[in-house]
Amino acid sequence: MSVSPKRRAEVLDALRKGTVPQDGLDLLAVGLSRFEQTVEEDLKKVQEGGSAFKAIRGDYGCGKTFFSRWIQQRARELRFATTEVQISETETPLHKLETVYRRMLERLSTPAVRQGAFRSVIESWFFGLEEDVLSAGKVAPDDAAGLLDATNHLMEKRLEGISRKAPAFAAALRAYRVAVATGDGSVADGLLAWLAGQPTVSANIKRFANLKGEVDHFAALSFLQALLVVLRDSGHPGLVFVIDEVETLQRVRSDARDKALNALRQLIDELDSGRFPGLYIVITGTPSFFDGPQGVQKLAPLAQRLQTDFATDARFDNPRAPQIRLKPFGDGEMMEVGRKVRDLFANGCSSPERLRSVGDDHLIQRLANGVAGKLGGKTGIAPRLFLKKLVSDVLDRIDLYPDFDPGRDYQLTINEEEMTEDERNIAPASTVNDIQLKL
């Protein structure tokens, strides 16, 4: 497979930091082939005006974030827009849908714009209106006033559907069009910020469009409907919306947790009702969230909607079910992804033959075993640190220093500072003094 230097560098840079790459997931994917057909079926359904929902469950280290970003990458290849929101008690509480909507727009991505794509989507929508007017042949390209009038007329026709769903969204778009046409950039920027749910828009800008207040919980759902219409008119057949780390709901106050679980149930029901054509929602969480008393099981209607049989042998899991489970990495998967990373690195380094020779399969196996050993032999939680060490501690040094011999010059160390909280919690304590007690 031919990989551009830019794409290769982005993947390797993310691995050096111990994070999941935003793109290039196909270069690293291991064990996801069994889900490909279902993902393609879901995306096709959404392309045709339907909607879809999928819950991804797995323990820490199973690759939930990787899988969700792999879905997003495949969606962008089909011109979908995508967005990803990490649920947090303080920054993005799930029960406050207005905050979720704002974060969703902040992280909106398209095939052309990595993040913060909302402005480009709106501008593409208006550009499409002008192109449609010009293609009709009734207005000359050099007739600025005529083009503006004809575009405004077409805009009103297109906004009829949005106005029924979200009158304020349509009003803000009209005012944005006027602000752009008159060269009032600050007002145009403020209106885009208000449409994106930002709470700090000045009263003067809102008066310009006859808007009141801010985007609240109920308006957020209507604005999401309107956004889907604008996306489709802008050439994007749908939106993949990933809600990551929903297991954090288990640690919030009981009243906030109940509201969040009900908000999740509401979203699923709204999808089923057909309110959001073109929307594919993916959530990720741990088994304790789906099965434990402080998670999904706390709200019976939600538990019923997500109920999936996992008593049968995992080989026969149904990928079309509401929930799918990811299995922890084993030795085979660690070796496979290690070889993929080694070969990706070698394809762009100064001496690929030497790198493959020194960084052979035996070295990869020893490093994988060493990282897993530092984590109590738990291979399932090792992939992130293993890939980080492989790239930054071993492959980079082989590439940079002709006399570097990992067997002689490298000793694996893993400091607590480079471990995530989840890794520290799961890894065994080295001594009694390493055990952290919450008092």
Better-scored residue on pLDDT, 92 or 1: 92
Who contacts 190 (Cβ-Cβ below 8 Å, separation ≥6)? 201, 202, 205
Amino acid (one-letter) located at 16 = R
Question: What is the tens place of the pLDDT at every residue in 381-395?
Answer: 889 999 999 999 999
| Homologous superfamily of domain range 35-110+236-325 | P-loop containing nucleotide triphosphate hydrolases (3.40.50.300)
Who contacts 264 (Cβ-Cβ below 8 Å, separation ≥6)? 94, 243, 246, 283, 302
Question: What is the tens place of the pLDDT at every residue in 190-201?
Answer: 999 999 999 989
Calculate mean pLDDT across residues 176-186. Answer: 91
Greatest C-alpha distance within the chain? 81
Reported as type and span, the H/E element at residue 158 is helix 144-165
Question: What is the tens place of the pLDDT at every residue in 200-245?
Answer: 899 999 999 999 889 998 899 999 999 999 999 999 999 999 999 9
pLDDT at 257: 94
β-pairing, 239-244 vs 81-86, is parallel
Nearest one of 178, 142, 166 to 219, comparing CA atoms: 166
**Domain map of the chain by residue range?**
35-110+236-325, 118-213, 331-428
Q: Would you state the structure tokens that stand for residue 63, as one six-digit string?
A: 């690759």
Who contacts 413 (Cβ-Cβ below 8 Å, separation ≥6)? none
Chain-wide mean pLDDT for the chain?
90
pLDDT at 140: 86
Predicted confidence band at 428 (pLDDT cuts at 50, 70, 90)? Answer: low
281: which strand partners? Answer: 53, 241
Better-scored residue on pLDDT, 300 or 420: 300
Who contacts 287 (Cβ-Cβ below 8 Å, separation ≥6)? 57, 58, 59, 325
Residue 89 has pLDDT above 90, yes or no: no
pTM metric for this prediction:
0.90
Phi, psi of 162 (to 5 degrees): -70, -40
Burial 175-209 (b: 16+ CB within 10 A, else e): bbbbbbeeebeebbebbbbbbbbeeebeeebbebb
The C-alpha atoms of residue 417 and residue 271 are separated, in whole angstroms, by 42
- Asked if 311 and 323 touch (Cβ cutoff 8 Å), the reply is no
pLDDT at 432: 37
Residue 314 has pLDDT above 80, yes or no: yes
Cα four-point dihedral sign 313, 317, 322, 326: positive
Residue 313 has pLDDT above 80, yes or no: yes
Residue 373 has pLDDT above 90, yes or no: no
Q: What percent of the chain has pLDDT over 70?
A: 97
Calculate mean pLDDT across residues 254-261. Answer: 94
Question: What is the tens place of the pLDDT at every residue in 322-340?
Answer: 999 999 888 899 999 999 9
Calculate mean pLDDT across residues 357-366. Answer: 95
Q: Would you state the structure tokens that stand for residue 330, as one six-digit string?
A: 């084993």
Reported as type and span, the H/E element at residue 97 is helix 97-106
Residue 97 has pLDDT above 80, yes or no: yes
The C-alpha atoms of residue 303 and residue 290 are separated, in whole angstroms, by 8
Predicted confidence band at 430 (pLDDT cuts at 50, 70, 90)? Answer: very low
**Measured distance between the N- and C-terminal CA atoms of the chain, rounded to whole angstroms:** 53
The separation between CA 52 and the C-alpha centre of its own chain, rounded to angstroms, equals: 16
